[in-house]
Structure 1
Amino acid sequence: MAEDVYERARTMTGAELRNWGMKEVAYFRPITHEGTTLIAIHAADGTPVCLAEDEDSAVDAILEQDMVPTFLQ
């Protein structure tokens, strides 16, 4: 079942991702803040949720909320 969710998340358009359940998926992407690279975590609709120091920490934070992490470049 988890593989189906991951595959669906990988093939969604931006509009589909925004409309997908806010409590089901979060995406993360690298940002630069004051010369430091951090990982920004956003809800499916783009609402900023929090920052993480690295990708592993971002994924862990998302999984702790029983959400599906999706990387966005």
Structure 2
Amino acid sequence: MDTKFDFGEPETANTVYIRRVATSSLPKEIREQLRGLDSMYAVHDSAGEQLALVRDRSLAFILARQNELTPVSVH
């Protein structure tokens, strides 16, 4: 089949990526505010820029959806 198909505009502009972040990898100023937490969840845009850092995974997904973004989990 050599028929071309129009897939439309890519939706990656509205996609954000949610990933677990070890608090030990965060800057000291942030770690001092997070005593007792081993990890947090970061929300990244398609270019890899961190947009938000939140306490738990469900909150990261809620935050993305409230901003009309499509969250995708990254392992």
TM superposition score normalised by structure 1: 0.66
Segments of structure 2 that go 5 or more residues without pairing to the other structure are 1-9, 25-36
The offset of 1:70, in angstroms, is: 0.2
Structure of larger gyration radius:
2
Aligned mate of 2:12, from 11, 20, 29: 20
Segments of structure 1 that go 5 or more residues without pairing to the other structure are 1-16
Runs of 4+ in structure 1 off by over 3 angstroms are: none
Report % sequence identity.
17
- Higher normalized helix content (fraction of residues): 1
2:16 aligned partner, one-letter code: A
Pairwise CA RMSD = 2.0
TM superposition score normalised by structure 2: 0.65
